[in-house]
Chains A and B, each alone.
Chain A
Amino acid sequence: MKQGKQVLEKRDTLPRYFLRDYELWPEEVEMREKEKGIWWEYTWRDGYEKAKHFSLGMVTLGLEPGGKVGLLGDNEPEMYWSMFGNWCARGVNIGFWTDSVPSELKYIIDHSGLKFMVVRDQEQVDKMLKLKEEVSKVKKVIWWEPKGMAGYDDPWLIGFEDVVELGREYEKEHPTAFNENIDSVNPEDVAYIFYTSGTTGLPKGVVHSHSSVIQTAEAIREVYPATAEDNAAPYFSVASIFEVIFGSASHLINGIKFNFPESPDTLMPDLREISPTVMFWVPRGWENIASEIQVKVNDASALKRVTFNSFLPVGYKISALQNQGKKPNLFWRALRLAAWWTAFRPVLDKVGLLKTRWAMTGGYMLGSHSFEFFQAIGLDLRQAYGSTEVPFISTHMPGTIRPDSIGTLQPEVDYKVTDDGELFLRAPYMLKEYYNNPEATSKAVDGEGWFHTGDAGYVDEDRNVFFIDRVSELKELRGGKKFSPQYIEAQIRFGAYMQDCMAVGDVTKDFVSAVINIDFESVGKWAERNHIPYTTRVDLSQKDEVGKLVLRDIRRVNSTLPEHARIRRYAVFHKEFDPDESELTRSKKLRRGFMEEKYADLIAGIYEGRESVPVEAVVKYRDGRTGVVSANIKLRSVEE
């Protein structure tokens, strides 16, 4: 029987699913990884052997039931073998963002009390060694990428393969231990702790059980069908629940195959070779693909460019009709067919999305421009909405997509809207608690089991959920009118030359303004094409021509906004917003309060009507050194 057609038996814990998969498909491909320019395959047997011995090796090293293990590194087979192995040893996984600095690691290590860290490479090992004195409770740091590790002889460190070897020895004496460990895992045992990235305050550890992860993944499968025939490229960090419920859990429960690019730099070309059939990415990933398509179209020959651009409106028209549940007439269908074969199909093929059955975006809001763009070129892209606490809340359903909503509320989820406009939710899959933080737990989940989302939103009679913004992040202008900075920022980011944006405005201000972070790479190319000389990025960002380029995008966004929420003045920022300087969180969300304080002079200048403001920014390098970037930032007005 073909893999995809099998009716799969249910299990109640993730390790039991892992065991089931190995028994079902020992010789089928579990993962593929590109190395030395070639795709290498691992079967479920390969993965089972690795994870089993790693699991037993961890037991040998002293991992106890309920013991916590940190995962830090890019997504590669070893990352998942470790994750599965830990579960099989009754352990709890905690994912970290790969680019975390030592102080961020230390906070989570201390707070969770974890005893083991599994890290990818020398870079991460160095971070851990820097912390060694301060995190004395960590027993071992396990690394899996040997490059550069030749000179390290600290007994605190151990290689992944050495742990596997320990496990192999252990198995000789305890041949039944692995299965016994799996048997003793309970569905209500903690499987994962997700640390929220903390746009406000310190990170909180959101605790999920095996049962909650499994139930979430099963609910997802109802809407986003997945089988062992499917290929995925799990690209998002295992620090996020988004990856675990769509990726790891679906891999174990549905058997979707994992494919790993050769390096982060080769992601886009490798994606084409993977041709994933299911795609779960965060908005920034989709925005990158959208910009990449636009750049490619702009670089293509005149004929191709004209073809694509003249057929694009056809795509928009058809997808709008389909979303309203209407059927396009013969004329539009014929045009659509021509558009598909001459313009959209080749473009989807170029970026590796041609075989994609469904594509979803989640994590935070994707700008409706990007969203409609993908639908127009024929990709079944849907938005799903969840939080770390209630991982799967709503999603777009085929045929009834309202691009302005975040989809239809899941049947499992109850809701209620408070007088303040805050959405309360209750679902069978929810956080168990905030780790070691009963106060936050009782604040977020009340006695009746309602989870307070902190999001302003409403639900209509068709159970479509409308999301406005975080209650705490809606901003009020002088005079009481409200606007959503996040919405404006997402819309700006869609522009081919835009990287990021911070929309500014509050009760002391009469209008909205924006600090814009251009995409230095594509703007640099644009300047080259248009013969605009520049020296540095700072210089480029302050060119009048670049100001005009940005203005085009602002006008585009303004046309979708109500009068009071339009951007009136703007500045082009002289560098990228940077997580190393705490300007963004590790998941690349803007840290608004911090930014407004750090660049208070700039913002004041905008509202005082000044023409330029000198800005000095201290730049922090990852090794702790600092430098100063100074620039004279021009402040410009948007004339209607």
Chain B
Amino acid sequence: MVSEAKAKLKVEDVELRFGGVTALDDVSVDVKEGEILAIIGPNGAGKTCIINSITGYYRPQRGKIYYDGRQLIGQSTHKIIKLGISRTYQNIELFTGLTALENLMASRHPFFKSSVVSGAIYFGRAHREEIENRHIVEDIIDFLEIEAWRKKVVGALPYGLRKRVELGRALALEPNLLLLDEPMAGMNLEEKEDMARFILDVFEGQARKYPDTPILRDGVKTIMLIEHDMGVVMDIADRIMVLDFGHKIAEGTPKEIKANPEVVRAYLGEEA
């Protein structure tokens, strides 16, 4: 393995089986601090399984996953989130009955220190905390340009907007590592370009625009992105890993991946 010291997330020889089906077969990959790593592959290649293994939804039978040197396999999901890992879902998991604003405020829950009782009275610290967190959430709303839907119930929003709210929810948790599961699936070209822009802007950090909101000011310096659509990935990822039927078939820069015959075969089938 190259440059071991710098790896923020280290996936080592992970094997994940469901009965007789091997979803991940000896997969290893590093995500370094300061890079966007994309995982691509055809349907059923095992892309989401990697994220689910990192976040504790699945428990791989073999292998190790280290985050900042800490083993993640075997830890529970809520503990993993507290380490500074947050994710979005391919099929969007939000509270559909709450508004966009309420969804984002809800995900600020770990940052509230006041008790249930003082929250109910809404006085002193509880009041102050609510305002502080609202400031951060409003910056995220401004960043994602969802002001018009702030008070709209999420279940009634169109798909592309829900995806944005979901990214907002992941950001509200102030992660150091962001895992994005097909953030552009099902979008039209313009929405895809917007989403790509948001991801790059999060990665860069927006110190001039949001000096008071750490997550936007400093950005998220490590991002793992799963994507079906090759086009966008080639533009925004620093490195790409390609999965096919649970096997890693390639890893490298977008340029290398484009030229890799294995990848072409996996995507386009045998050469005609």
Supposing A148-B197, A148-B201 touch, asked if A37 and B206 sit within 8 A by C-beta, the answer is: no
* A621 surroundings in chain B (CB, below 8 A): 189-190
- Check B193 for interface membership: any CB of A closer than 8 A: yes
- CB proximity to A under 8 Å, residues B142-199: 142-143, 145, 147-148, 150, 189-190, 193, 197
**Residue of A whose beta carbon sits closest to that of B138:** A36
- Check A149 for interface membership: any CB of B closer than 8 A: yes
In the complex, are the beta carbons of A263 and B209 less than 8 A apart?
no
A143 CB to closest chain B CB (Å) equals 11
In the complex, are the beta carbons of B143 and A147 less than 8 A apart?
yes
* Binary flags per residue of B42-76, CB closer than 8 Å to A gives 1, else 0: 00000000000000000000000000000000000
CA distance A625 to B141 in the complex (A): 30
In the complex, are the beta carbons of A150 and B135 less than 8 A apart?
no
- Check A611 for interface membership: any CB of B closer than 8 A: no
**Residue of A whose beta carbon sits closest to that of B198:** A148
In the complex, are the beta carbons of A623 and B147 less than 8 A apart?
no
- Check B25 for interface membership: any CB of A closer than 8 A: no
* Binary flags per residue of B118-156, CB closer than 8 Å to A gives 1, else 0: 000000000000000001001101110101101000000
**Residue of B whose beta carbon sits closest to that of A627:** B189
**7 A-B contact pairs sorted by A residue (CB < 8 Å):** A37-B138, A147-B206, A150-B206, A266-B147, A269-B148, A621-B189, A621-B190
- Check B208 for interface membership: any CB of A closer than 8 A: yes
* A266 surroundings in chain B (CB, below 8 A): 147-148
* Binary flags per residue of B88-113, CB closer than 8 Å to A gives 1, else 0: 00000000000000000000000000
* A149 surroundings in chain B (CB, below 8 A): 208-209
- Check B33 for interface membership: any CB of A closer than 8 A: no
In the complex, are the beta carbons of A150 and B205 less than 8 A apart?
yes
CA distance A159 to B207 in the complex (A): 14
* B150 surroundings in chain A (CB, below 8 A): 37
**Residue of A whose beta carbon sits closest to that of B201:** A148
- Check A262 for interface membership: any CB of B closer than 8 A: yes
In the complex, are the beta carbons of A146 and B206 less than 8 A apart?
yes
- Check B12 for interface membership: any CB of A closer than 8 A: no
**Residue of B whose beta carbon sits closest to that of A263:** B147
- Most interface-central of A145, A263, A625 (chain B CB within 10 A): A263
In the complex, are the beta carbons of B147 and A265 less than 8 A apart?
yes
In the complex, are the beta carbons of A151 and B193 less than 8 A apart?
no
- Check B204 for interface membership: any CB of A closer than 8 A: yes
The 8 Å CB contact of B148, one of A35, A148, A263, is A263
**Residue of A whose beta carbon sits closest to that of B145:** A263
- Residues of A bordering B, CB below 8 Å: 35-37, 145-151, 159, 262-263, 265-266, 269, 621, 623, 625
In the complex, are the beta carbons of B208 and A146 less than 8 A apart?
yes
CA distance A310 to B133 in the complex (A): 49
CA distance A202 to B20 in the complex (A): 70
Supposing A36-B135, A36-B142, A37-B138 touch, asked if A147 and B148 sit within 8 A by C-beta, the answer is: no
In the complex, are the beta carbons of A265 and B148 less than 8 A apart?
yes
**Residue of B whose beta carbon sits closest to that of A262:** B147
* A269 surroundings in chain B (CB, below 8 A): 148
CA distance A266 to B150 in the complex (A): 10
- CB proximity to A under 8 Å, residues B218-270: none
CA distance A37 to B150 in the complex (A): 9
A86 CB to closest chain B CB (Å) equals 24
- Most interface-central of B145, B147, B189 (chain A CB within 10 A): B147
- Most interface-central of B135, B148, B197, B205 (chain A CB within 10 A): B148
In the complex, are the beta carbons of B208 and A150 less than 8 A apart?
yes
**Residue of B whose beta carbon sits closest to that of A267:** B148
CA distance A335 to B123 in the complex (A): 51
B157 CB to closest chain A CB (Å) equals 12
* A37 surroundings in chain B (CB, below 8 A): 138, 141, 147, 150
**Residue of A whose beta carbon sits closest to that of B142:** A36
* B142 surroundings in chain A (CB, below 8 A): 35-36
CA distance A149 to B210 in the complex (A): 12
B147 CB to closest chain A CB (Å) equals 5
* B145 surroundings in chain A (CB, below 8 A): 263, 265
In the complex, are the beta carbons of A148 and B206 less than 8 A apart?
yes
CA distance A265 to B145 in the complex (A): 9
- Most interface-central of B205, B206, B207 (chain A CB within 10 A): B206
B69 CB to closest chain A CB (Å) equals 30
B132 CB to closest chain A CB (Å) equals 13
* A263 surroundings in chain B (CB, below 8 A): 145, 147-148
B17 CB to closest chain A CB (Å) equals 40
The 8 Å CB contact of B201, one of A36, A147, A262, is A147
In the complex, are the beta carbons of A147 and B147 less than 8 A apart?
no
- Most interface-central of A147, A262, A265 (chain B CB within 10 A): A147
The 8 Å CB contact of A150, one of B139, B141, B207, is B207
* A625 surroundings in chain B (CB, below 8 A): 189
B230 CB to closest chain A CB (Å) equals 16
- Most interface-central of B138, B197, B208 (chain A CB within 10 A): B208
A132 CB to closest chain B CB (Å) equals 21
A476 CB to closest chain B CB (Å) equals 42
In the complex, are the beta carbons of A147 and B139 less than 8 A apart?
no
* A145 surroundings in chain B (CB, below 8 A): 209
A316 CB to closest chain B CB (Å) equals 33
Known: A36-B142, A149-B208, A621-B189. 8 other contacts (CB 8 A): A146-B206, A146-B208, A147-B206, A147-B209, A263-B147, A263-B148, A621-B190, A625-B189
**Residue of A whose beta carbon sits closest to that of B216:** A147
* B189 surroundings in chain A (CB, below 8 A): 621, 625
* B206 surroundings in chain A (CB, below 8 A): 146-148, 150
A28 CB to closest chain B CB (Å) equals 27
In the complex, are the beta carbons of A146 and B147 less than 8 A apart?
no
* B143 surroundings in chain A (CB, below 8 A): 147
